[in-house]
């Protein structure tokens, strides 16, 4: 679980990160990793290449304030990440302004930790519900969390088969499918292989190579997994060049909507 925190006050940032990572979410199925940002522009730059499960934004920060960043974010295609706005502004008008701009919740500082945790858990509940499901389907790829395996049936009439993956391979592949069409940063993927903080690690490149082969992520099957220079990797639709039984890219795009 990745949470981006936008806050320009160092003491407040340390307090937030400590609470989120170590004290408030111990009951989640996966660890919480907070990524701190001290300016709106820095976070906007990261949002172009990285994915997060939740954004916690302070209103008053340098360069690009929380409201401006939120307005930009909501104009982006497929911008559905939950956003909580934190602010010392306690007027009704300010709260309405943030909610109208696209915030999912508005919390006035100083916040009460247990209340903050309850509000964030509510926003994360849909993602957690999906994550706890036994299976997630993306077109002809079915992910089974209980067995860390993926079922493939890529041709009409072809017998479905299960492909076993290591735990890190499974979670990395799931992150790529959940972000279909969007770049996923190396930092995000390295967390899945237990090598956080090693952006040049060859472990990631090796895992990506194996995933391409094991899950048959190629043009023939309507998908392409490729490197995005300076960012990470992107799994995207492409025109297939093989079997007529494989659906066209438009049909595949519609069928790849995740379902628990």
pLDDT of residue 41: 94
For 31-48, what is each residue's pLDDT tens digit?
678 899 999 999 998 888
- C-alpha 220/C-alpha 232 separation (Å) is 23
pLDDT of residue 161: 87
pLDDT of residue 245: 35
Range 133-255 classified under CATH 1.20.1250.20 = no
- C-alpha 113/C-alpha 16 separation (Å) is 9
Max alpha carbon distance in the chain (Å)? Answer: 62
Question: Looking at 18-22, 48-52, 170-174, 200-204, which range is the least confident one?
Answer: 200-204
For 194-226, what is each residue's pLDDT tens digit?
655 454 567 788 889 999 999 999 888 888 898
Please check the confidence at residue 249 and state whether its pLDDT lies above 90.
Answer: no
Instruction: Write out the residue limits of the CATH 1.10.10.10 domain(s) in the chain.
Output: 133-255
Distance of CA 216 to the CA centre of its chain: 23
Per-position DSSP letters for 67-112, written without gaps between them: HHHHHHHHHSTT----EEEEES---HHHHHHHHHHT-SEEEESSPP
Task: For residue 2, give the nearest of 231, 169, 178, 188 by alpha carbon.
Answer: 188
Hey, what are 250's tokens?
Answer: 């438009």
**Beta-bridge partners for 40:** none
Q: What count of residues does the chain have?
A: 260
pLDDT of residue 158: 74
Q: Indicate the helix (H) or strand (E) that contains 141.
A: strand 141-144
Please check the confidence at residue 234 and state whether its pLDDT lies above 70.
Answer: yes
Please check the confidence at residue 9 and state whether its pLDDT lies above 60.
Answer: yes
- C-alpha 122/C-alpha 153 separation (Å) is 36
Side-chain half-sphere of 194: how many Cα atoms within 13 Å? 5
Looking at residues 219-243, what average pLDDT do you find?
Answer: 79
**CA 117 vs CA 59, 76, 84, 134: distances in Å:** 19, 27, 11, 26
pTM over 0.75: no
Asked whether 171 and 220 are in contact (CB, 8 A), the reply is no
Backbone φ and ψ for 50, nearest 5 degrees, come out as -125, 160
Please check the confidence at residue 76 and state whether its pLDDT lies above 50.
Answer: yes
**Beta-bridge partners for 234:** 183, 226
Distance of CA 137 to the CA centre of its chain: 17
| Highest mean pLDDT out of 139-143, 156-160, 256-260 | 139-143
> What would the CATH number be for the domain defined by 2-131?
3.40.50.2300
Looking at residues 231-238, what average pLDDT do you find?
Answer: 86
Question: Looking at 91-105, 159-173, 230-244, which range is the least confident one?
Answer: 230-244
Q: What percent of the chain has pLDDT over 70?
A: 79
pLDDT of residue 175: 86
pLDDT of residue 194: 60
For 146-159, what is each residue's pLDDT tens digit?
788 999 877 766 78
Question: Looking at 51-55, 78-82, 162-166, which range is the least confident one?
Answer: 78-82
Hey, what are 97's tokens?
Answer: 């302004």
Q: Which of the 8 DSSP states describes residue 11?
A: H
The mean predicted confidence, pLDDT, of the chain is 80
pLDDT of residue 238: 78
- C-alpha 249/C-alpha 122 separation (Å) is 35
């Amino acid at each position: 679980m990745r949470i981006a925190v936008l806050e320009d006050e160092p003491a407040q940032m340390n307090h937030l990160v400590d609470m989120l990572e170590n004290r408030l979410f111990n009951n989640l199925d996966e660890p919480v990793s907070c990524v701190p940002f001290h300016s709106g522009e820095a976070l906007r730059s990261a949002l172009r290449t990285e994915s997060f499960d939740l954004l916690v934004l302070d209103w008053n920060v340098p360069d690009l304030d929380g409201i401006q960043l939120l307005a930009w974010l909501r104009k982006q295609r497929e911008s559905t990440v939950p956003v909580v706005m934190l602010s010392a502004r306690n007027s009704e008008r300010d709260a309405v302004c943030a909610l109208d701009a696209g915030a999912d919740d508005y919390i006035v500082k100083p916040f009460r930790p247990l209340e903050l945790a309850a509000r964030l858990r509510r926003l994360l509940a849909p993602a957690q519900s999906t994550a706890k499901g036994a299976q997630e389907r993306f077109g002809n790829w079915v992910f089974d969390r209980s067995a860390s395996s993926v079922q493939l049936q890529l041709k009409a009439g072809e017998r479905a088969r299960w492909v076993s993956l290591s735990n890190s391979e499974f979670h990395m592949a799931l992150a790529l499918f959940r972000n279909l069409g969007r770049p996923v940063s190396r930092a995000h993927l390295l967390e899945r292989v237990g090598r956080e903080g090693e952006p040049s690690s060859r472990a990631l490149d090796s895992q990506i190579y194996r995933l391409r082969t094991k899950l048959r992520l190629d043009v023939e099957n309507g998908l392409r997994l490729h490197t995005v220079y300076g960012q990470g990797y992107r799994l995207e639709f492409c025109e297939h060049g093989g079997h007529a039984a494989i659906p066209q890219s438009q049909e595949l795009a519609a069928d790849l909507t995740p379902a628990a």
